Structure 1
């Protein structure tokens, strides 16, 4: 039973990691045959039945992943475009910088009209007139781009999550959009109207909280209730992350457990004050029903966030266990909740949120089970009240310490895999913050929510805000100590090996669990001693606008201010902090472009200027002519040039060994034999890494093919309206 979600999830992982789609008939036939085989297998042959059942669950996991992929069917924008769009506001969220982020259900586009119209896009609107309610129809000029792929090969593919979230693009409005009337008012279904009312309620709650509590305090409080996290400043978010307290922001198992526990204990205590009720009714089950209603309401106003969905299902199963007089905290309940989530949303198993959430829960519940099995000794001094009080206090803080240690160690593996970093001071930060969260923030936040319909919630939010200010102060203090340890990418075999050891350690109930400990320790030791893959020499962003050179001195790029979203991922994965900005040498006879215009040169001027820049390039650092090109010389003698204007392609190919341009050219090779990466080729390969073993260029791409639904939009040709053949660069090309 405990390993059932492991087999089911393994099937889903195999489907999502596969390089191409397979016919559903294959896993369906396998599942049917295996079920028949399971039915005829002798019940006395336990291991045979376990093997057949595991293979059956793997086949079912593949089918579940295929069904979710088919059900999503998201139309993803194929390339960046500026268009006039008309859409309905489905959700909104403040971004904390005077803007609003809207999820729009698109109805139409014009100038140009898109052939493949995404059903939903996220668009940011800024300005005083940019606040619109859910259900409003908007029209405005906007810049839309497809969801981004991995920043480097092997990193998180954001288009995967966007596909299964139903979001086909993102962008921003040029100015505030205009409100337009709906063509068919009142045509929305009952479900749509219910969701619209719910999202209006959610937005209203968030606005009221932010109106009572100013700045980051109000944004933090609203995030704990409605999961609107973008209003929190980047400084506070970074402090929470570096201190290991970022998990507090997400509506996850901690928030749900505290809210359910506080409501359960409080409601049961109130009922226990009524002797007639206690004698006539099952007070514990009534309190569990009330707590279930509370967490259901919490989930509904949280905006159906993924982390909240998992936490709600888990808490609902645990509270439902009380109705049947079953233990609430058990590995079987965790297993059941995992099965439900994997069946409903198998794609979630690929993300860090699912993995870290269940890893922490699994480790804590397994640790709780071992703690209950410990031998209990008599305490001769327990009859003294002072001793009991000290013992209770020690048990509380010891529980926080043990919980923080178990939670920190259980999620460290996944933090290294997905974020390439560890937090050194998460333990003291959680020890200081958890009592505040448990005794101030969550209880008074719950009281405030209960009093909000009556308008009596101001004082309770102020007490909650006091607690949140303390947590923010703790986060900033701990973050100032440093302790953000960069790990970088590890060997490809480490993560599956370590996860195998972790699952054996937490799920096995016999001494065989120590086999998991041995695997976990051995794989971690080997990974630490052997290190990760060799770092690339050159990294290229998927749009071709930025290239980087990795050296002992730092990471040199062709951008003075590299875009933070991509560059931060590069630095974490490559474990490099120092950015080497490009130089702009003052060379004679180099004309300058008029303000806001591109530089125009004759062919002779192009050759002379490029050769002059090439000669000035030293120390694996870019030398640039603004808004034209950048050139760098590698330590192996190779010349790398990034051009912004296709007019400079010829001279760049002549003087360089590697040429990069964001322009979507139909060419994919230089006549000189230089490697050429264009906006069109990079669109199909994603971000690229180059290494030079033995002086030969070895190319690693993010995508080996474009056959999967969440990346197939990269092969679309809007001119012909068809999906072209998947073309990628060879991993061993040169």
Structure 2
């Protein structure tokens, strides 16, 4: 019996499998003792029997429905992980067959649940395939320089430097099969055109970038699901021009919502200028553009970044407040309160307010999960049934996966569902410790409520922190070991000052009396920021970890499911799966070579075991985004931006070199004139240019005009460098624009060190007199259309 549950009498048919399992276990123990064997480790047959008995107990408790979202998400994950694009309808027939078999075997519980789970997996695969086919859109295949486009502005975003707009294209420079429907363009100015306006701009466009390294986050796939087929930067300012076509129907709603969000943001900033105003705007409207990077970073380190993400806490506060306000207003009329179900009526404005907040905040996947759960809870109130259960979460997960199956890949959605699952399971099992804390006397009422709050806060922080830690380690390569301390200190300010003041300010805004509420909210935010800064400065608060393989994340996710959903000895699978996941992660090799998708930046693991960087230019090299991603994957984020990253590289105007472990050289070509020496002196050559066919080095040739991600190299026991591309083998995946662009003249590089004068001088020094200035400087001042086709972008 779990904590907080009422004991119930089992029906005879429910107790039968348990009685049989107990009898089998007693018989096995008696046989062991009769044979004089004592209690040795059980055999595989005995383990299988115990596992079957535990599984029968789980099925008797009617918890099979909770595993349906796991099966659907597993099927969606299998679809997105396929190296080649499956046939669009290939999984429909197996899903229908498995559903039929499950219905046919419904009288046999084990067979029914097994085939139902298999049907859920194939249904998730089919659902993901159909949804991707439904929203399929072209991706620009290669770089376009100085392309003039026109389109409607659908979204704007302020950046640390400049701004960014998403444009629904109306005219493209020339007819292309892969002409994108939407493009995302970075602007130099901080004042982007308004949402809904029709603009003309000149921009350099290219395919969305792929992962920075194999196994890294696929930025191109992520923006593809936002409907974007090309990214780039504008050349000059966009101009407002008349539209040649009628604006889409949904653009009017988008324009109104954007205007509302920015009007609220302007009102908040007027009353609360500075960094506190930026955080307040993010909490109320979801616009995180004005959140200062130091605040966001300290909140990440302290484990408080979940406060800035609009999800369960914010949605629950909005819906709950509106619900109780509506119910209180209806209760003022005795005739209504006595004759009609005003509690059910109050759920309607609560649902409408939650819907408006979903649209206002941008409808991210975590917010969608919170919204669906809020609607289910409100529906439970209308029907008079408890709704905040694991079944509620299961229904919410199925709804989100049905609408957006790619949520299985989204870090925010993964962490949101994991935290909610852990919270509900923790309160089901240990909620009685919160409602009745031990050590409080019956007459000490004034002590009971603070003790309950502290106990609930500790339980929530531990459950959510432990549940989201694997996903933070996998996606962001960081842990927040002091998050419990930060949440215990900051959440009272957030729960009792920041969020209530924000809600009061939003309610009073139409009446013009919101200034005091925003100032009170700013005081709470300032307190929260001081707590985050204090915790972030504690040594060891920011714990970086190396990149984790996908297999480890899957095993840790299964461990979380076993821990939260099991009520029998199946819960013992959780530590076994977790240990196996950590063992696999510890054995994961670290790359010795990183190359970005444009062959502009290279990182090499030197003899000291640390990464060093070289690039097509020296200025700003250590601050490049790819370098930050590589250092994060290496568990060495603290060195990001450090000048020591580029000190080991030997560079001349034609290229750079760095030594690998063992002395073999990796060369990066800056100009075609360097290729002859690089092929002769280096073991690995990275170049955006076409290398000679007789080149003796292993050539990594990446065409910057084509789409794709980075490349990593791993040292083998035989002393070779095994190259792995971040692009999956090309099979026509909808978010891939072109085949992988990695061409190597050798299958693997022999990494024996070079000898003689070449080793001492290095290619870069040997070429130093060949050219006295950087060839890329010759391109300064040229227009993008005049730049050579093979020049690095």
Same fold judged by TM-score > 0.5? yes
Conservation of the 8 A alpha-carbon contact between 2:68 and 2:120: yes
Residue among 401, 405, 411 paired with 1:352 = 411
Residue 574 (structure 2) aligns with? 517
Is it true that 1:696 corresponds to 2:720 in the alignment?
yes
Q: Is the 8 A contact 1:264 1:287 kept in 2?
A: yes
User: Equivalent residues in 2 for 1:121-132 (5 A)?
Assistant: 121-127=183-189, 130-132=191-193
Rate the CA distance shift 1:447–1:454 in 2: closer, same or farther, 3 A.
same
Moved more, 295-304 or 354-363: 295-304
Greater RCO, CA 8 A, separation 6+: 2
CA contact (8 A) 1:220 1:229 kept: yes
| Other structure's SS at 1:347 match | helix
With over 3 angstroms needed to count, the CA separation of the structure-2 counterparts of 1:427 and 1:269, relative to structure 1, is: farther
Once residues 712 and 437 of structure 2 are traced to their aligned partners in structure 1, the CA distance between those partners, rounded to angstroms, is 63
SS at match of 1:26: coil
Query: Which residues of 2 match residues 464-543 of structure 1 at below 5 A?
Result: 464-482=521-539, 483-490=541-548, 493-508=551-566, 510-523=567-580, 526-527=583-584, 531-543=586-598
- Partner-residue secondary structure (3-state), 2:737: helix
Distance 1:682 1:402 in 2: 52
Q: How far 1:326 sits from its partner (Å)?
A: 1.4
1:213 to 249, 252, 272: 272
Measured after TM superposition, the shift of residue 58 of structure 1 is 1.4
Counterpart residue number, 2:222: 161
Structure 2: distance between partners of 1:427 and 1:574: 26
Give the secondary-structure state (helix, strand or coil) at the position aligned to 1:680. Answer: coil
Aligned position for 1:59? 122
- Matching residue of 1:48: 111
Q: Which stretches in structure 2 are left out of the alignment for 5+ residues?
A: 1-64, 750-793
| Contact 1:77-1:117 at 8 Å conserved across structures | yes
Partner of 1:455: 512
CA contact (8 A) 1:582 1:624 kept: no
Match of 1:575 in 2: 635
Q: Measured at CA, do residues 183 and 25 of structure 1 come closer, stay the same or move farther in structure 2, by a change above 3 Å?
A: closer
Q: What does residue range 609-688 of structure 1 map to in structure 2 within 5 Å?
A: 621-626=648-653, 628-663=654-689, 665=690, 667=691, 670-680=693-703, 686-688=709-711
Picking from 557, 571, 575, the partner of 2:613 is 557
2 CA distance for matches of 1:707 and 1:631?
Answer: 35
Number of aligned residue pairs: give it: 675
Shift of 1:681: 9.0
Q: CA deviation at 1:44?
A: 2.3
Q: State the 1:524 CA deviation.
A: 5.2
CA contact (8 A) 1:583 1:624 kept: no
Go from structure 1 to structure 2 and tell me whether the alpha carbon gap of 1:273 and 1:431 turns closer, same or farther (over 3 Å shift).
Answer: farther
Matches of 2:320 and 2:288 in 1, distance apart? 24
Contact 1:541/1:687 (CA < 8 Å) preserved in 2? yes
Residue aligned with 1:465, SS? helix
Instruction: Give how far 1:544 is off.
Output: 0.7
Point out where structure 1 has 5 or more consecutive residues left out of the alignment.
585-619, 716-724
Give the one of 178, 200, 204 matched to 1:116: 178
Mean Cα deviation higher: 427-436 or 268-277: 268-277
Instruction: For 2:321 and 2:331, locate their aligned partners in 1 and report how far apart those are by CA, in whole Å.
Output: 15
Q: Secondary structure at the match of 1:150?
A: coil
Aligned to 2:195: 134
SS of the equivalent of 1:467 reads helix
Q: Distance in 1 between matches of 2:600 and 2:553?
A: 32
1:171 corresponds to 2:232: yes
Q: Is the 8 A contact 1:537 1:690 kept in 2?
A: yes
* Offset at residue 709 of structure 1 (A): 2.6
Q: 1:380 to 1:364 in 2, by over 3 A?
A: closer
User: Would you say the 8 A contact 2:684–2:698 is kept in 1?
Assistant: yes
Deviations 1:39-58 (A, max 9, x none): 322x3201111111111111
**CA offset digits 1:207-240 (Å, max 9, x no partner):** 3323332232222112122222122222221111
Pairwise CA distance, 1:419: 1.5
Give secondary structure in 2 for the equivalent of 1:74: coil
Q: Give the root-mean-square deviation of aligned CA atoms.
A: 2.8
Say if 1:491 and 1:304 are closer, same or farther in 2 by CA, change over 3 A: closer
Q: Which residue of the partner structure matches residue 243 of structure 1?
A: 302
SS at 2:703's partner residue? helix
Per the normalisation by structure 2, the TM-score is 0.80
Tell me how far apart the structure 1 counterparts of residues 199 and 595 of structure 2 sit (CA, whole Å). Answer: 37
Corresponding residue to 1:15 among 57, 79, 83: 79
Q: Of 75, 80, 95, which residue of structure 2 is paired with 1:31?
A: 95
Q: How far off is 1:553 after superposition?
A: 5.5
CA distance in 2 between partners of 1:88 and 1:313 (Å): 31
Q: CA deviation at 1:525?
A: 5.5
Q: CA deviation at 1:726?
A: 8.4
User: How far, CA to CA, are the matches of 2:270 and 2:747 in structure 1?
Assistant: 58
SS in 1 for 2:66: coil
CA separation of 1:53 and 1:730: change in aligned 2, threshold 3 A: farther
Indicate the SS of the match to 1:209: helix
Q: In the alignment, is residue 394 of structure 1 matched against residue 451 of structure 2?
A: yes
Cα displacement (A) at 1:10: 0.9
- CA–CA distance in 2 between the matches of 1:170 and 1:119? 12
What corresponds to 2:312 in structure 1?
Answer: 253
* Contact map agreement 2:700 2:744 (CA 8 A) in 1: no
Change (3 A) 1:191 1:351: closer
Residues 301, 536 of structure 2: 8 Å contact kept: yes
2:225 aligned counterpart, secondary structure: helix
